Structure 1
Amino acid sequence: MATAVTLSLSSLGLLVLARWGYGLATNIAFFFRRSGVRRYLEVKPNPGAGAKESWALITGSGAGLGRALAFELAGWGFNIVLHGSNAAKLEAVKEELQAAHPSRSVRTLVLDARICGLLNGADLEAKLNAAVKSLGDIHIRILVNNVGMPQARPEVRAPFDALDTFTYDELLINVAGNAVFPMLLTRALYPQLIRNQPALIINMGSLAAEGFPLFPSYGPAKAFLMASTAELRLENRIEGRDIEVLGIDVAGVTGTDTIKDDPNLMLPDAPTYAKSVVRSIGCGHARVAPHLPQAIFLWVIRTLPSWLGDALKANMIKGMREEAAAKLKNANSAQ
């Protein structure tokens, strides 16, 4: 009896170690693959039709990671649609992008993601349809749902806080911008993406979706987006559509509107992260963490026993809240 129990426990331990080892090896191997982005540049025209240049629409591309993704995809040969809510910001990025890549075409799309929390019914539908109609003459083959709205402006209040400290409007608008807007924009663009197959949708997620505390609206909204990614990926398989859907687990990028720290091993700058995102295209997975140190961290978080993972998440975010509150206090004192 004792021998059987020992053998069973040993076998279980070996299975656990094998699972850990396989996960780690898979994560490391991923970072030596080539990007599959070129297949979305190789346009095969329909019989009797001329070839069309490929375009990529990146939401939230007026700054930060969205801007970096626009430059990265332009470097691969895509024409770019810059999206945001600030027209002047987009025009400035457009000028920079065209100066860096003079052979590429660049457009801007001004559309506030908050409309999904401010409008409804016919008004919302009209806004989305008008935006998509303005792009009807180009060949959009890549949609990057990058737009991300922080729970609060960091210059006004600490970005990490409990549910009861936010107003109803703050919660509603945040969920609308981070979850509803990407879904509805994808729906509005879907007829074009289907027509332009093969096509690609990239949804930018967040570490907050792993159940980290003090993200009462942002974390669940990003979890919704990742669930939508998995659903849409399999939906396209059932419908026989050549539309790749890829979710990106982002654990932090500096050089954005909300994070301005110096880059380090765990916190890459936006251009570096943009390159890793593009390298992930065509990997065959529903979700990936394209930056190796972050991938290992996420793998550890997901593999730990729940009680240990919960303690790590709570302590980590508690410390980040205290640090953010101290920075805000110092900034207000200096004014």
Structure 2
Amino acid sequence: MGTDAFLRQQEPWFVSLGILGALYVAVVAYRLFHISGLALCLRQPKDLRRRYGAWAVVTGPTSGIGRSMALELARRGLNLVLVGRDPAMLQDISETVSRTHGVLAKTVQFDFSLVSTPRGDEAMRRLREAVAGLDVGLLVNNAGVAKPGVVYLHEVDAEAWVSMIRVNLWALTEVTAAVLPGMVDRGRGAVVNIGSGCTVALPSVPFYSIYAATKRYVAQFSRSLYVEYRGKGIDVQCQVPLFVDTKMMAKMMTWGGLMSQLITPTPDSYAHAAARWIGHGLPVCIPNPGHRLQMCLYQLLPDSIRVGACLHESLHQRALNLTKGTVAQR
């Protein structure tokens, strides 16, 4: 009996279920194809300089992901405006990118914890002057702080939380607002905001409440700007790292060994993947393939298990800090 004859003899509901099952498998396969990053791997990497412009602004470029992003963008031929608070470290990364990759580099000293204060306003004025007249095609908002962490809200003076909010949320917003007008005038550009895996992997992040809240703002801010500005030729994206081998992550996590090596890329390998994802259509994305695999596994677990594991790790870190005297109980 041929296939057509077999199908004609089946009940309509059986055929309908078969069609629905095939469609479901196709959708799952399509999602896995994109989640895995295979779709992006099959594309040619974008020429960021040609697509967006000759200059990139990178905040927090002196260590970790920010430094690696600066080096990666310089390797791709972009000149850099490097914005951070430490003059000596700014000078070091400026000289490194110029010497290694032959690009131009400017530095702007800016302590983001002082944003919207007289000193912060002066730094913002210097930043606007630094980018005036430049073909700034890319902004990477990387600067961020996770301290204070593993503490109850009431254990830390309000000014410390305000400082974190200024750096992670307020400064990111003001720097974006300062750079966007030039992109709008030129009809092209990209804004990349570095978020945090805690906002996508966990429904709540005990003992890091303010940090997690500021990073969730970054994701929602990016989603909204993505819709607002894509008609003006500007790509806006929140890139979400999970565990990356940085000083910040070393302070937040206490486990190590083989497992941490398998799931924790170096800043350089993370930056290489992140640069490939710029402008590829997703308002919130996870550039590193290992991180995407982690997210698939996390989503298989109930919220209670994920939050419970996070709580256990935070309590362990908190106990160590109490022993060292770096946390004062109240």
TM-score of the two chains, using structure 1 as the length reference: 0.79
Map of 2:180 onto structure 1: 190
CA contact (8 A) 1:232 1:245 kept: yes
Listed as ranges, the matches of 1:244-283 within 5 Å are 244-259=235-250, 264-283=261-280
CA contact (8 A) 1:83 1:109 kept: yes
Structure-1 separation of matches of 2:312 and 2:31: 29
Map of 1:176 onto structure 2: 166
* 1:133 aligns to 2:129 (yes or no): yes
CA contact (8 A) 1:209 1:219 kept: yes
The structure with the largest alpha-carbon Rg is: 2
Question: For residues 79-98 of structure 1, what are the alpha-carbon distances to aligned partners after superposition, in whole Å with 9 as ceiling and x for unaligned?
Answer: 11111111111112222222
Map of 1:106 onto structure 2: 105
Structure-2 separation of matches of 1:264 and 1:88: 31
What do you get for the CA RMSD once the two structures are aligned?
Answer: 3.2
* 1:32 aligns to 2:41 (yes or no): yes
Which residue identity lines up with residue 251 of structure 1 in the other structure? Answer: L
User: Between Structure 1 and Structure 2, how many residues are aligned?
Assistant: 306
How far did 1:258 drift?
4.3
Structure 1 residues 60, 39: CA separation in 2 closer, same or farther (over 3 Å shift)?
A: closer
Map of 1:212 onto structure 2: 204
Structure-1 separation of matches of 2:26 and 2:152: 39
How far did 1:12 drift?
9.2
How far did 1:14 drift?
8.4
Structure-2 separation of matches of 1:12 and 1:171: 51
Structure-2 separation of matches of 1:82 and 1:126: 16
Map of 2:190 onto structure 1: 200
Which structure: greater helix fraction?
A: 2
Higher-RCO chain (CA-CA 8 Å, sequence separation at least 6): 1
TM-score of the two chains, using structure 2 as the length reference: 0.80
* Percent of paired sites with the same residue: 22
CA contact (8 A) 1:36 1:283 kept: no
User: Could you list the runs of 5+ residues in structure 1 that have no partner in the other structure?
Assistant: 44-52, 153-158
CA contact (8 A) 1:248 1:277 kept: yes
CA contact (8 A) 1:201 1:243 kept: yes
Residue among 308, 311, 320 paired with 1:318: 311
Structure 1 residues 164, 197: CA separation in 2 closer, same or farther (over 3 Å shift)?
A: same
User: Could you list the runs of 5+ residues in structure 2 that have no partner in the other structure?
Assistant: 1-12
